[in-house]
Amino acid sequence: MARWQEMLRGRGAVTVDPRTRLWLIIDLDDYYCFYLELVTSGGAGAQFILSWAESLYESDTGHDKGNRNAVEGKVFRGPQDRFILDGGEKRRYDTLWWRSGRYVEIVVETKDEAVTIEQLAWRETRYPFEMEGRIETDDARLDAVVPIMYRTLQMCAHETFMDCPYYEQLMYAGDTRLQALVAYMTSFDDRLPTLANAMFDWSRAPDGLTKSRYPSAVPQVIPPFSLWWVGMVYDHYLWRDRHDRVQSWLPGVDAVLAGFARYLKDDLVDGIPGWNFCDWVPAWRGGWPPDGEGASALINLIYVYALDRAAEMEQYFGQRDLAAHWRGLAGRVRRAVAATYWDEGRGMLADDVAHEHYSEHVQALAILTDTLDGPRRQRMIHGLLNDPDIQRTTIYFSHYLFEALQVIGETGRIYERLSLWLDLPDQGFRTTLESPEPSRSDCHAWGAHPIYHLYATFLGLRPAEPGFRSVRIAPRPGPLTRLRGALPHPSGQMIEFDLRIEGDALRGAVTLPTTLEGSLVWHDTTVPLRPGENTIVF
């Protein structure tokens, strides 16, 4: 085994004797996307078989994997590449496409001639994202999971973003919005988010809706993902300063919203065709929310969410008539949702017209769209926080739950929900998983969104106006007592921060780029932030 380890480090070669079958498993100790580099000499007729896996399985069927560090007693399942050697000297073998995972299974079967393995190496391939920003807290477990989340973003970024490197390798709009947000927090490089926005715009069908994933040989439509693309355009409008790009995408945004409007019945979207996936909730068949084939509260609230953001962008760019149209439509759908789905006895919005199903998803989107006010809003918030019998968001949609909890000042609840991420290192994960266990995919970058919330929610750092032309920092640290790091600003300079929280006291410093101003809000007090270093004492 020592010879193999030396060869894998690029030192020396390994010879396998004639009429031998050799089998071994290599743990790369991290997740990689890579091209194989194999060089052999001799061994005519021998077979060299390499298989790739994210982790090993508990059995021959199903997705149960247990601790991802464990190997003993488990089953290796994964795609393989089989090379039949011709016996020549210094023969070089590679694959037509890259492979991915953490574990490599190697089987060598020789015939009458020994084979010498001169080189076996992996050449990593990915988009060159590096974490230019940084974020540190006083919580060692939270800090330890940030590299895991960022590694997931790297492994899901290639020529385009993609949902996962091991399975579909496709850029889905719902996933991509969250990946782009993490990229904005951590990198000056916004080329991949820009390309993603443009590609989904290119993907639109004559009915106005985008494809769920693009580019793809097999067309697919997930109507809510078309709406999340509208959100992704809005994020670019807010977090980046290239408004020429945003204006070029706005006709596509309008087409998506008009496409949904074709299915309005009594001011509710009803029966829009496609796969109306919203989240991998175990109780939801195929990720469909209740009434997903008819008039779903969740789909209608996502529509309102998109309409609100489109109206803001159109108003900003001087399209006042369009802005008024989308605002008016948002108001009509919002009122119809409140009238149709409010359950007075339960004190929440139902998922379905029959008032048989309830979820965090609907309450969260109702908060983000200001669908309820007064006592009904307060009752709904109480239900969201305390009702034990509503369906919970999973990894993907928890982003929107966290956004809603931020709005109502419940960042402590967000921290509680981060337990899934905080447990990842102890469970052997090197990347974030797709869904609650048993998870099919071990590497899904929609699970990296807590990086965004460390900046935008716990630190409370968000653009105060479009194009990130000013900044507002309103820390809501929950149980955290230290927030230190830097965020890349589109000016090409960093926003740096080092803040300590002791009870009601906030102290530290915030350093802004030379062209940026803003404000810092702590409880009910607001102070201006100027370019350069600002001393913070509350």
CATH number at residue 53: 2.60.120
| Residues 289 and 370 reside in one and the same domain | yes
| Residues 90 and 157 reside in one and the same domain | no
Taking residues 468-486, what's their average pLDDT? 98
The 3-class secondary structure across 358-377, one letter per residue, is: CEHHHHHHHHHCCCCCHHHH
- Classified as helix, coil or strand, 436 is coil
CA pair distance 47, 466, nearest whole angstrom: 59
Let me know: does 223 contact 276? Beta carbons within 8 Å.
yes
| Residues 148 and 107 reside in one and the same domain | no
Pairing of strands 348-349, 134-137: unpaired
Look up the pTM and report it: 0.97
Q: With bands split at pLDDT 50, 70 and 90, how would you rate the model's confidence at 445?
A: very high
| Residues 298 and 351 reside in one and the same domain | yes
Paired with 537 in beta bridges are 507
| Residues 486 and 438 reside in one and the same domain | no
CATH code of the domain in which 277 resides: 1.50.10.10
Q: Which residues contact 238 (CB under 8 A, 6 or more apart)?
A: 462, 463, 466, 467, 468
pLDDT of residue 2: 84
Concatenated DSSP letters of 462-488: EESSGGG-EEEE----TT--EEEEEEE
Tokens of 17: 């004797």
- Residue indicated by tokens 């997740």: 31
**Half-sphere exposure at residue 397, Cβ-oriented, CA atoms within 13 angstroms:** 24
Pairing of strands 342-343, 348-349: antiparallel
The angle, 0 to 180 degrees and rounded to 10, between the axes of the packed helices 243-261 and 223-239 is 150
pLDDT of residue 340: 99
pLDDT tens, 93-104? 999 999 999 999
396 occurs within a structural domain: yes
pLDDT tens, 306-365? 999 999 999 999 999 999 999 999 999 999 999 999 999 999 999 999 999 999 999 999
Let me know: does 301 contact 397? Beta carbons within 8 Å.
no
Residue ending a domain, among 102, 124, 146, is 124
| Residues 120 and 141 reside in one and the same domain | no
| Residues 303 and 433 reside in one and the same domain | yes
Its domain, for residue 518, covers 473-537
468 occurs within a structural domain: no
190 occurs within a structural domain: yes
pLDDT tens, 210-268? 999 999 999 999 999 999 999 999 999 999 999 999 999 999 999 999 999 999 999 99
306 occurs within a structural domain: yes
| Residues 486 and 381 reside in one and the same domain | no
Q: Is the pLDDT of residue 121 over 80?
A: yes
Taking residues 480-499, what's their average pLDDT? 99
Domain count along the chain = 3
466 occurs within a structural domain: no
464 occurs within a structural domain: no
Q: How wide is the angle at C-alpha 460 spanned by C-alphas 456 and 461, nearest 5°? A: 65
Residue ending a domain, among 78, 101, 124, is 124
Q: With bands split at pLDDT 50, 70 and 90, how would you rate the model's confidence at 1?
A: confident
Helix (H) or strand (E) holding 264: strand 264-265
CA pair distance 150, 182, nearest whole angstrom: 8
Sheet holding 505-512, edge to edge: 134-137, 482-488, 494-502, 505-512, 532-537
| Residues 367 and 489 reside in one and the same domain | no
Amino acid at 214: Y
Taking residues 288-299, what's their average pLDDT? 98
In terms of Cα–Cα distance, which of 87, 181, 76, 48 is closest to 447?
A: 181
467 occurs within a structural domain: no
Let me know: does 241 contact 490? Beta carbons within 8 Å.
yes
Q: With bands split at pLDDT 50, 70 and 90, how would you rate the model's confidence at 145?
A: very high
Q: Is the pLDDT of residue 32 over 80?
A: yes
| Residues 310 and 391 reside in one and the same domain | yes
150 occurs within a structural domain: yes
By CB atoms closer than 10 A (0-12, 13-18, 19+), residue 393 is buried
Number of Cβ within a 10 Å radius of residue 58: 15
The 3-class secondary structure across 365-414, one letter per residue, is: HHHHCCCCCHHHHHHHHHHHHHCCCCECCCCCCHHHHHHHHHHCCCHHHH
| Residues 224 and 259 reside in one and the same domain | yes
Let me know: does 355 contact 406? Beta carbons within 8 Å.
no
Concatenated DSSP letters of 177-214: HHHHHHHHHH-S--HHHHHHHHHHHHT--TTSPPPSBS
Mean pLDDT of the chain: 98
| Residues 418 and 494 reside in one and the same domain | no
The 3-class secondary structure across 59-107, one letter per residue, is: CCCCCCCCCCCCCCCCECCCCEEEEECCCCCCEEECCCCCEEEEEEEEE
Let me know: does 440 contact 55? Beta carbons within 8 Å.
no
Residue ending a domain, among 90, 124, 158, is 124
CA pair distance 144, 139, nearest whole angstrom: 9
